[in-house]
Amino acid sequence: MVDMDALKSGDRRALARAITLIESSRPEDEVRAADLLESLGPTGATSWRLGISGAPGVGKSTFIEAFGLHAVEQGHKVAVLAVDPSSSLGGGSILGDKTRMERLSRDPRAFIRPSPSGGELGGVALRTRDTMMLVEAAGYDLVIVETVGVGQSETAVAAMTDMFLLLLAPGAGDSLQGVKRGIMELADLILVNKADGDLADAARHVVSDHRAAMSLVRPHEPFWTPKVEACSALTGHGLPEAWNAVGAYFEAAGDALTEKRRSQAAAALWGEVVRLATARLRADPERQALLHRLEGELSAGDISLRNAAHRLLDGS
Ligand SMILES: Nc1nc2c(ncn2[C@@H]2O[C@H](COP(=O)(O)OP(=O)(O)OP(=O)(O)O)[C@@H](O)[C@H]2O)c(=O)[nH]1
Ligand SMILES: [Mg+2]
């Protein structure tokens, strides 16, 4: 059983137990997890939900540790969650290496949780979303959701957070061409990390290239023009400015945040309906037999794909 009072008073064991329940794929836990989430009531009224992405090695862990420690020094409670496409495929987890956030993970004002493993991206994202509600209920008011910049997961993270931060670093693979345009368009703040030592000059160039590129991108929030800044997670250079930029975003967002979250929740609801409906259809033996027949008709050219899809959905 999850002790709600303990969870709400910030008890880490109760929180960890609740997250384990949310992540469980046992059918009997589904109902308990749903009940638990409903008993939370609204969460996060004053929280900042920050998505962070960047290619492997740009310095996400180093940055989140330094940024997180800065935040707790300002009086915040910081939770770090992850959406990790590699762990969905049974590989390692980006937050598996808590060692790289050693100081933050030891800080009582911070809570770090690796990505739930297993399942497709949609399922992992849903569970991360639920976990976000739990950590908010437990009093964490800065929720950082990390993902690795390699695929679809950036979109999933941007769709569950208030602000999306893209980390770049000078060097191979991080040139303007290296970053997918679609991901840049999601960014509210681009930070060019490793602006220190020998890399400082190169970082400046990456900043000016991306400022030029971003000036051509249509802002996706009416209240905010995306910014590009340099920083060094290693030396701390530019971190207070990054913190201020995040603060400025939330100040500018004001009430618009409520509306943004509302439409994010609506989109997540439809996403979940699609996932559930697909799973139900796939599990239906009659549908499987029908699918088998339709496959034959499809390959013989007797039916169009769209008609086959309609029939599969209708079950006739
Ligand atoms: N010079 C310099 N090196 C940095 C900086 N931030 C991180 N690094 C180094 O870059 C390497 C990768 O840093 P991580 O923080 O592990 O990067 P990451 O993005 O979390 O990497 P993955 O978890 O593998 O995706 C490490 O050797 C860090 O010490 C920085 O600001 N300046
Ligand atoms: Mg990392």
The better pLDDT of the pair 137, 316 is held by 137
Closest ligand to the CA of 169: 1
- What pLDDT score does 174 carry? 52
User: Is residue 259 situated within a structural domain?
Assistant: no
Q: Are 125 and 209 in a shared domain?
A: yes
Q: Are residues 84 and 167 in the same domain?
A: yes
Instruction: Give the three-class secondary structure for 234.
Output: coil
What is the count of structural domains for the chain?
A: 3
Task: Give the side-chain half-sphere CA count within 13 A for 253.
Answer: 22
| 45-57 tens-digit pLDDT | 899 999 999 988 8
Same domain, 16 and 116: no
- Assess whether 176 and 287 both reside in one domain: no
Question: Residue 73 domain-assigned?
Answer: yes
Q: Are residues 85 and 160 in the same domain?
A: yes
Asked if 36 and 56 sit in the same domain, the reply is: no
Alpha carbon of 173 to ligand 2 centroid (Å): 17
Mean pLDDT of the chain: 90
263-283: average pLDDT = 92
Assess contact for 63 and 193: CB atoms under 8 A: yes
pLDDT at 121 over 80: yes
Q: Residue 110: pLDDT band by 50, 70, 90 thresholds?
A: very high
204 and 109 belong to one structural domain: yes
Residue 280 lies in a domain: yes
Residue ending a domain, among 225, 254, 283, is 254
Q: What is the per-residue pLDDT for 269? A: 94
The pLDDT value recorded for residue 177 is 53
Q: Is residue 12 part of a domain?
A: yes
Asked if the structure places residue 260 within a domain, the reply is no
| Of 245, 260, 242, residue with least CA distance to 44 | 260
The pLDDT, as a whole number, for residue 114 is: 83
Can you give the pLDDT at residue 89? 52
Calpha distance 147→56 (Å, rounded) = 10
Whose alpha carbon is nearest atom 10 of ligand 1? 59
pLDDT per residue as tens digits for the range 143-183: 999 998 767 889 999 999 999 999 999 985 555 655 677 88
Q: Is the dihedral of CA 267, 269, 275, 277 positive or negative?
A: negative
Task: Name residues with Cβ closer than 5 Å to ligand 2, which is an ion.
Answer: 60-61
Q: Is residue 91 part of a domain?
A: yes
pLDDT digits (tens, 9 = 90+) for 213-259: 999 888 899 999 999 999 999 999 999 999 999 999 999 999 999 99
Share of the chain above pLDDT 90, in %: 72
Does residue 196 carry a pLDDT above 90?
yes
Ligand 1 environment, Cβ below 6 A:
54, 56-62, 94, 100, 148, 193-194, 196-197, 199, 232-234
How far apart, in whole angstroms, are the C-alpha atoms of residue 184 and residue 299?
40
Per-residue pLDDT, 95: 56
Binning pLDDT at 50, 70 and 90, where does residue 34 land?
very high
Find the helix or strand (DSSP H, E) in which 68 lies: helix 60-73
Name the token pair of 223: 């209240």
Q: With 90 as the cut, is the pLDDT of residue 68 above it?
A: yes
Do 121 and 143 lie in one domain? The reply is yes
Look up the CATH number of the domain holding residue 200: 3.40.50.300
31 and 50, same domain (yes or no): no
What is the best residue among 62, 95, 104, 153 to mutate for testing ligand 1's pocket, by most ligand atoms within 8 Å of CB? 62
Task: Give the residue-averaged pLDDT of 102-128.
Answer: 87
The mean pLDDT value for 119-123 works out to 79
Backbone region of residue 259 per phi and psi (left: phi > 0; alpha: psi in -120 to 50; beta: other values):
alpha
Query: What range defines the domain where residue 270 resides?
Result: 266-314
Predicted structure pTM score: 0.91
Give me the pLDDT at residue 171, please: 80
Whole-angstrom distance, CA of residue 47 vs CA of residue 139: 9
Q: DSSP for 16-53?
A: HHHHHHHH---HHHHHHHHHHHHHT-S--TT-EEEEEE
- Say whether pLDDT at 90 is over 60: no
Provide the pLDDT confidence category of residue 26 given band limits of 50, 70 and 90: confident
3-state secondary structure 250-278: HHHHCCHHHHHHHHHHHHHHHHHHHHHHH
Instruction: State yes or no: pLDDT of 310 exceeds 60.
Output: yes
Asked if residue 261 belongs to a domain, the reply is no
144 in a structural domain: yes
Confidence of residue 92 (pLDDT cuts 50, 70, 90): low
Do 191 and 281 belong together in one domain?
no
Is the pLDDT score of 43 beyond 80? yes
**Statement to judge: residues 202 and 280 lie in one domain:** no
Domain shared by 25 and 150, yes or no: no
At 205, the amino acid letter reads H
